[in-house]
Chain A
Amino acid sequence: MLLFIAKRLLWMVPSLVVVSFLAFVLIQLPPGDYVTSYIATLAASNEVVDQNTAADLRARYGLDQPMIVQYFKWITGIVLRGDFGISFEWQQPVGDLIWERMALTLVLTFSTLLATWGIALPIGIFSAVKKYSIGDYIVTFLSFLGLAVPSFLLALVLMYVAAVEYGQEVGGLFSEQYLTAPWSIAKMIDLAKHLWIPVIILAVSGTASLIRVMRANMLDELHKPYVTTARAKGLSEFHLLLKYPVRLALNPFISTISWLLPNLVSGSIIVAIVLSLQTAGPLLLQSLMSQDMYLAGAFVLLICTLTLVGSLISDILLALVDPRIRLE
């Protein structure tokens, strides 16, 4: 097991090198560069950039150099000094910008995960066990409804109703007085008060597919001989369900953990934008749109690293949960 983990960790190094290069190339692919999009953004409000300044900017950021030179400058900074460069747009070190938002993103993603699993797993089990019952139809209908409504629309509608009908502030994760306050119990409570709205919006769309996955897997397992045997041996129905079929049906949930970690950064971008959440997603999108290379590159690199770590975690968990999987 340890040898397996070590090998996998070693493999990550070349993967990351390739991925970082590809990411850098991809970010550069759209026409223009940071300066073009900076000029274009200002021009959108009929604002003008000094011509001398525009030329200066290109030289200052090294945008007039070949891409490969820019890449090496960037990657050596990261490898040798842990320096992710400066965000063009903000004139701030990229590292500061990213970590600032990661903590809140973590809270949001894990709360959403808990809510999604908390809703989907029991309902999935229920609708498999009570297949084609009235209850099965009702939860299936509701979950499909949840899947069908785009989450950004749900967010907009919720915001509209809250703002126009009740005059309430919905966006953001904190009330005004806690925005810049240091962490305290009161601030955590305030966060919890705001967190449930995005969590519900995000969970609604996620549960439907999970319910179906859980239901299908359970149906596969429920009629296998070992279930009949266990039942014949006199195991209680509840105990039996949880002990064997549920454990095996969880397999797809665990395999998808590797997708879950990158979701920390890139998931729920649209909802975060609509609700003005200070999570990582909007910053990533903005950096891509303005071609703020170092910031975008750092995000993409982070997502890739998280994917690799995530798939390692899910492999290890699978080995622990599913007795049929062996590492050797």
Chain B
Amino acid sequence: MRNSKNGSGLVDGVRRRDVLKGLAGAATLSAIPQGAMAQAAKEAPALAKMTADGKLPALAERIPANPMVVPVEKVGRYGGSLRRGLRGSSDHNGILRLVGNQGLVRWNLAFTEVLPNVADKWEVSADSSEFTFYLRKGMKWSDGKPFTADDVVFSIEDCAKNPDLFKSAPSTLVINGKACTATKIDETTVKIAFAGPFALFLEQLATPLGQYPTLYAKHYCSQFHPKYNTSVADLVKAANLSDWAALFRNKCGDIEIPARWGNVDKPTLDPWVVKEAYTGGTTRVVMERNPYFWQVDTAGNQLPYIDRLTFSISQDVESLMLDAISGRLDIQERHIDTLQNKPTLSQNMQKGGYRLIELVNSSAQQVQIYLNMTHKDPKMREMFANKEFRKALSLGLDRKEIIDLVYLGQSQPYQTGPRPGHPWHNKTLAEQFTGFDAAQANAILDKLGYAKKDSGGIRLRPDGQKVFFAIDVIPTLYPDQVDALELVKRHWADIGVDIKVNTIERALYYTRGDSNDHDAAVWPGPGGLDPMLDPRDYFAHHPQGSRYAIPWTLWYVSGGKDGQEPPESQKQRMKLYDQARATADLQKRGELMKQLFDLTAEAFETIGLCLAVNAFGIAKNNLQNVPAKYPNAWSWPNPGPALPQQFFFTT
């Protein structure tokens, strides 16, 4: 057995002690015979009563013979109701982040290593193309039916790979344009095989988008599937829906849609199951403990500790803030973690009875400026594509002023790249051209042929046009970026470059990017803690995210069929990344990625302002076992990997 690591290593802010503690916990536990663990397990009082009344089978029959043991900081007590807020609609991921993280594997607290979860252990073939997962014997869905290899095979073969349901299979299950095949070896063993090496598969499985193998319960969802139920058309008609795929989605959901939480009958593997569903008309969502949950603490108590979750739905973020400061939310970071809310939340800590928790930003960059190097206008393209021009712009920025004024001094000048402390941190990539040097910037621009200026002091291009471009920014999403850009505008005006801070609505922002109509755009630059999972700033990787050259990303993802052919440096990086993704050996993968970062530094495509600032959240004082610090990311969907099932209330 060989556990693969993603090699993000230790990161700044997440303490080494936490990681060691996690490992130590696992080591002591492995000494206890696992069968004995199930025998000795204890359960919540309400469940014990139901068992005594004969309404539930005994605990030993409900949990697997080898339940997952969660190394808890403190053994908790049962009871209580955890309150959290959702905003309006389309906030389904607010539930996913807390509850729905029960994939085959999971992340450790430091976001550096993949640990066993639904799968007890696994084996990887030598070329990293076949993965054999060993499930837990006797594990049950939340309705008490057994969870077996059949469920995993059904989820992948009949659902994720079904063209009616998913026109193309989810990306996490695809390599070299081909979807994986899942095969049942025996009741609790399943093999997932790919057409080529896919060493990153385990990390992908630990992210939310990697939850497909455990998403659908065969005994329940197969009734909405034409392969298993020939009269599914009647059900479709009765539900007033258009086709079986719509019915299936309505009943069994998908990873990232509200309907995942809209059906109280759907069996899940989650610690809490839906009691009051998340539907269009509702104002709150209630979830109650899953009596068949398959995890226990170090003392053998069945998790979760907390009886129920209540998500209240506020249409308005301000009313969420009101709930937070008046102490009506037990743990919350979503929607309230903006920098301007921090003083208000700090002031009201005593009144609201909560503490602040620090969230380590997984992004690299707070404000990444993407000049469109594939601009439709050849003159603009030529200007943006010139590295010297971008270098001059970077040197012309007074980053310290921006950090002091907009980010309250809580950052440092930064270009991009894995965060400081990350084993792959690349100093050149992170720090080149971040010194403020207007004289040098002016000299470069003069040399580039932009020496002539108009009466307003703005430089002119050789064709007589002003050196001017617009930067798209979404004010409702990132008000801080607008503030930062206003300062950038001033700094660049001093070196004779004029910009327009183009504040637009978010759908328009995306539409302009999709049709390659933007001059430039800003966005927080990802890839600080998760460079393998989101490398969009290191080469043209993301068709909606690598905004400096979206046609190049189309070329990359379509295998050369669409988009525009990128320059040599990009092509090398695309190849290096594909190699790294197929390399299980961390050492070797790191070497490949370091080559990639060197090329990125050499090409210098994006201009960054400062290191992404840490966010924060609140936790009530009586809520225990909440780590004081954890990552803030989508791939590490906080707070889920901090295991909320082992949070508990002291009173």
For residue B168, which residues in chain A have a CB less than 8 angstroms away from its CB?
52, 55-56
List which A30-68 residues lie within 8 A (CB) of chain B: 30-32, 36-53, 55-56, 59-60
**A92: Cβ under 8 A from any B Cβ:** yes
**B625: Cβ under 8 A from any A Cβ:** no
- Distance between A76 CB and nearest chain B CB, rounded to angstroms: 13
For residue B166, which residues in chain A have a CB less than 8 angstroms away from its CB?
52-53, 56
Among candidates B90, B239, B634, residue contacting A46 with C-beta atoms closer than 8 Å: B634
Q: How many residues of A contact B (CB 8 A)?
A: 61
**B526: Cβ under 8 A from any A Cβ:** yes
For residue A275, which residues in chain B have a CB less than 8 angstroms away from its CB?
319
**A282: Cβ under 8 A from any B Cβ:** yes
- Distance between A265 CB and nearest chain B CB, rounded to angstroms: 14
Among candidates B258, B526, B557, residue contacting A89 with C-beta atoms closer than 8 Å: B258
Among candidates B240, B323, B557, residue contacting A83 with C-beta atoms closer than 8 Å: B240
Q: Is the interface of A mostly helix, strand, loop or mixed?
A: helix
Distance of A51 Cα from B169 Cα, bound (Å): 10
Among candidates B167, B239, B511, residue contacting A36 with C-beta atoms closer than 8 Å: B511
**A184: Cβ under 8 A from any B Cβ:** no
Distance of A90 Cα from B277 Cα, bound (Å): 12
Select from chain A the residue with minimum beta-carbon distance to B164. A60
Among candidates A32, A101, A272, residue contacting B508 with C-beta atoms closer than 8 Å: A32
Among candidates B280, B319, B510, residue contacting A87 with C-beta atoms closer than 8 Å: B280
- Distance between B496 CB and nearest chain A CB, rounded to angstroms: 33
Contact: A52 with B508, CB < 8 Å?
A: no
For residue B512, which residues in chain A have a CB less than 8 angstroms away from its CB?
31
- Distance between B34 CB and nearest chain A CB, rounded to angstroms: 36
Interface segment out of the listed A158-166, A225-233, A305-313: A158-166
Distance of A40 Cα from B313 Cα, bound (Å): 20
Contact: B256 with A42, CB < 8 Å?
A: yes
Among candidates B88, B242, B281, residue contacting A86 with C-beta atoms closer than 8 Å: B242
List which B280-297 residues lie within 8 A (CB) of chain A: 280-284
Contact: A50 with B88, CB < 8 Å?
A: no
**B477: Cβ under 8 A from any A Cβ:** yes
**B326: Cβ under 8 A from any A Cβ:** yes
Contact: A46 with B526, CB < 8 Å?
A: yes
Distance of A171 Cα from B315 Cα, bound (Å): 11
**B29: Cβ under 8 A from any A Cβ:** no
Cβ contacts A75-93/B at 8 Å (1 or 0 each): 0000000010011011111
Select from chain A the residue with minimum beta-carbon distance to B242. A86
**A290: Cβ under 8 A from any B Cβ:** yes
- Distance between B562 CB and nearest chain A CB, rounded to angstroms: 12
For residue A39, which residues in chain B have a CB less than 8 angstroms away from its CB?
510, 544
- Distance between A133 CB and nearest chain B CB, rounded to angstroms: 42
- Distance between B260 CB and nearest chain A CB, rounded to angstroms: 10
Contact: A42 with B245, CB < 8 Å?
A: no
Distance of A56 Cα from B557 Cα, bound (Å): 16
**A207: Cβ under 8 A from any B Cβ:** no
**A236: Cβ under 8 A from any B Cβ:** no
**B246: Cβ under 8 A from any A Cβ:** yes
Contact: A171 with B319, CB < 8 Å?
A: yes
Contact: B313 with A276, CB < 8 Å?
A: yes
Among candidates B256, B326, B509, residue contacting A47 with C-beta atoms closer than 8 Å: B256
- Distance between B544 CB and nearest chain A CB, rounded to angstroms: 7
Select from chain B the residue with minimum beta-carbon distance to A83. B240
Distance of A47 Cα from B60 Cα, bound (Å): 38
Distance of A179 Cα from B275 Cα, bound (Å): 13
List which B286-319 residues lie within 8 A (CB) of chain A: 312-316, 318-319
Among candidates A44, A52, A59, A97, residue contacting B170 with C-beta atoms closer than 8 Å: A52
Q: Given A101-B281, A180-B276, A283-B280 in contact, is the A89-B314 Cβ separation under 8 Å? A: no
For residue B282, which residues in chain A have a CB less than 8 angstroms away from its CB?
278
Distance of A41 Cα from B283 Cα, bound (Å): 20
Distance of A55 Cα from B279 Cα, bound (Å): 24
- Distance between B312 CB and nearest chain A CB, rounded to angstroms: 8
Distance of A95 Cα from B313 Cα, bound (Å): 22
B167, B168, B209, B240 interface centre (most CB from chain A within 10 Å): B240
Distance of A45 Cα from B351 Cα, bound (Å): 28
For residue B493, which residues in chain A have a CB less than 8 angstroms away from its CB?
none
**B575: Cβ under 8 A from any A Cβ:** no
**A167: Cβ under 8 A from any B Cβ:** yes
**B24: Cβ under 8 A from any A Cβ:** no
Contact: B279 with A90, CB < 8 Å?
A: yes
Among candidates B174, B240, B314, B326, residue contacting A52 with C-beta atoms closer than 8 Å: B174
Distance of A275 Cα from B169 Cα, bound (Å): 42
List which B509-529 residues lie within 8 A (CB) of chain A: 509-512, 514, 524, 526
**B89: Cβ under 8 A from any A Cβ:** yes
**A273: Cβ under 8 A from any B Cβ:** yes
Distance of A12 Cα from B606 Cα, bound (Å): 58
Contact: B511 with A97, CB < 8 Å?
A: no
**B25: Cβ under 8 A from any A Cβ:** no
For residue B249, which residues in chain A have a CB less than 8 angstroms away from its CB?
91
**A19: Cβ under 8 A from any B Cβ:** no
Distance of A97 Cα from B526 Cα, bound (Å): 37
Distance of A274 Cα from B320 Cα, bound (Å): 10
Contact: B283 with A179, CB < 8 Å?
A: yes
**A20: Cβ under 8 A from any B Cβ:** no
For residue B385, which residues in chain A have a CB less than 8 angstroms away from its CB?
none
Contact: B170 with A50, CB < 8 Å?
A: yes
**A246: Cβ under 8 A from any B Cβ:** no
- Distance between A110 CB and nearest chain B CB, rounded to angstroms: 20
Distance of A91 Cα from B252 Cα, bound (Å): 11
**A291: Cβ under 8 A from any B Cβ:** yes
Contact: A30 with B557, CB < 8 Å?
A: no
**A100: Cβ under 8 A from any B Cβ:** yes
**A256: Cβ under 8 A from any B Cβ:** no
**A119: Cβ under 8 A from any B Cβ:** no
For residue B363, which residues in chain A have a CB less than 8 angstroms away from its CB?
46
**A286: Cβ under 8 A from any B Cβ:** yes
Distance of A90 Cα from B90 Cα, bound (Å): 8
Contact: A51 with B543, CB < 8 Å?
A: yes
For residue A43, which residues in chain B have a CB less than 8 angstroms away from its CB?
506, 544
A48, A56, A91, A282 interface centre (most CB from chain B within 10 Å): A91
For residue B170, which residues in chain A have a CB less than 8 angstroms away from its CB?
50, 52-53
Distance of A41 Cα from B510 Cα, bound (Å): 11
Contact: A156 with B318, CB < 8 Å?
A: yes
**B257: Cβ under 8 A from any A Cβ:** yes
Distance of A31 Cα from B488 Cα, bound (Å): 28
Distance of A315 Cα from B310 Cα, bound (Å): 49
**A172: Cβ under 8 A from any B Cβ:** yes
**B241: Cβ under 8 A from any A Cβ:** yes
Distance of A274 Cα from B315 Cα, bound (Å): 7
Contact: A31 with B508, CB < 8 Å?
A: yes
Distance of A91 Cα from B256 Cα, bound (Å): 12
For residue A46, which residues in chain B have a CB less than 8 angstroms away from its CB?
363, 524, 526, 633-634
For residue A50, which residues in chain B have a CB less than 8 angstroms away from its CB?
170-172, 209, 256
Select from chain B the residue with minimum beta-carbon distance to A100. B281
Cβ contacts B224-255/A at 8 Å (1 or 0 each): 00000000000000011110011001100010
B171, B323, B505, B506 interface centre (most CB from chain A within 10 Å): B506
Distance of A100 Cα from B282 Cα, bound (Å): 9
Contact: B314 with A44, CB < 8 Å?
A: no
Could you jot down 15 A-B contacts, CB within 8 Å?
Answer: A30-B505, A30-B508, A36-B510, A39-B544, A40-B509, A40-B510, A41-B90, A45-B634, A46-B524, A50-B256, A51-B557, A55-B167, A60-B167, A163-B322, A278-B282
Task: In the A-B complex, list the 9 residue pairs whose CB atoms are closest, starting with the nearest.
Answer: A32-B507, A100-B281, A273-B315, A97-B280, A40-B506, A91-B259, A90-B280, A31-B511, A52-B168
14 other A-B residue contacts (CB within 8 Å) besides A91-B246, A164-B322 = A32-B508, A41-B90, A46-B633, A89-B89, A90-B259, A95-B240, A159-B319, A163-B322, A179-B284, A272-B315, A276-B314, A276-B315, A283-B280, A290-B90
Residues of chain A whose beta carbon lies under 8 Å from any beta carbon of chain B: 30-32, 36-53, 55-56, 59-60, 83, 86-87, 89-93, 95-97, 100-101, 156, 159-160, 163-164, 167, 169, 171-172, 179-180, 272-276, 278, 282-283, 286, 290-291, 295
